[in-house]
A and B are shown apart, each in its own frame.
Chain A
Amino acid sequence: QKEVEQDPGPLSVPEGAIVSLNCTYSNSAFQYFMWYRQYSRKGPELLMYTYSSGNKEDGRFTAQVDKSSKYISLFIRDSQPSDSATYLCAMYPGGGNKLTFGTGTQLKVEL
């Protein structure tokens, strides 16, 4: 079992839809949680960063962490074609430990 599991998709939604992207993890030591967006033929870019449980909102994006269920989510409101990309979750315990990535979910927002 991988430490971080993510449905690879592809997930196809119409423009304006609310998108929910999710990751589950097995390591209860993870405390820092991130979402990266990766466009085709580009490097990942940091989208959202949260510490411990709770919600964080940034414009159309909301990151949610439920440590008791070992489950994190990224919600995208009013999705746009420009949101079409692969979304990778990532997490780490803190200190000098390495970041562990999910395999990414490919999202396509159609006109």
Chain B
Amino acid sequence: DTAVSQTPKYLVTQMGNDKSIKCEQNLGHDTMYWYKQDSKKFLKIMFSYNNKELIINETVPNRFSPKSPDKAHLNLHINSLELGDSAVYFCASSQEQGWNTIYFGEGSWLTVV
């Protein structure tokens, strides 16, 4: 059983398109996150939701919009994709905001051409 699952794993799309990445966790955690990992492996938080409520919203272009329909799901929608959006996007979850219990999904490789 996959604890944090995200789809799609690979996505190649053209500049200007709109795309979504879906994430689901079956751990019963209250908090979910989106992280972005660039080509140099630097992992940076984008958003954090606790029980469907936005907690952390880092300096991210407003083309990125997270949506949490329930506490087990956190989707990421990206409008008007740009070349610089190419990266690996990781969904994660943790119990409350316990950073010591954070579990990551396997990542979604986004390539914008």
Interface residues of A (CB under 8 A from B): 8, 32, 34, 38, 41-46, 49, 86, 88, 90, 92, 96, 98-99, 101, 103-104, 106
Interface residues of B (CB under 8 A from A): 4, 40-45, 48, 55-56, 58, 90, 92, 97, 99-107
Name the residue on B nearest A49 (C-beta): B100
Task: Kindly identify which residue among B41, B43, B107 contacts A41, using a CB–CB cutoff of 8 Å.
Answer: B107
* A–B complex contacts, Cβ < 8 Å, 12 sampled: A41-B106, A43-B104, A43-B107, A44-B104, A46-B100, A49-B100, A86-B41, A88-B43, A90-B99, A98-B56, A103-B40, A104-B41
Are B104 and A101 in contact, CB atoms less than 8 angstroms apart?
Answer: no
Interface of A is mostly: strand
Other A-B pairs beyond A44-B43, A103-B41, 5, CB < 8 Å: A34-B99, A34-B100, A43-B4, A43-B90, A43-B92
Contacts of B97 in A (CB 8 A): 96
Name the residue on B nearest A86 (C-beta): B41
Bound Cα distance A38, B99 (Å) = 17
Contacts of A103 in B (CB 8 A): 40-42
* Known contacts A32-B99, A34-B99, A96-B55: A45-B43 contact under CB 8 Å: no
Q: How far is the CB of B11 from chain A (nearest CB, A)?
A: 14
Are A8 and B107 in contact, CB atoms less than 8 angstroms apart?
Answer: no
Are B107 and A99 in contact, CB atoms less than 8 angstroms apart?
Answer: no
Bound Cα distance A99, B55 (Å) = 13
Bound Cα distance A46, B104 (Å) = 9
Contacts of B44 in A (CB 8 A): 101
Are B106 and A43 in contact, CB atoms less than 8 angstroms apart?
Answer: yes
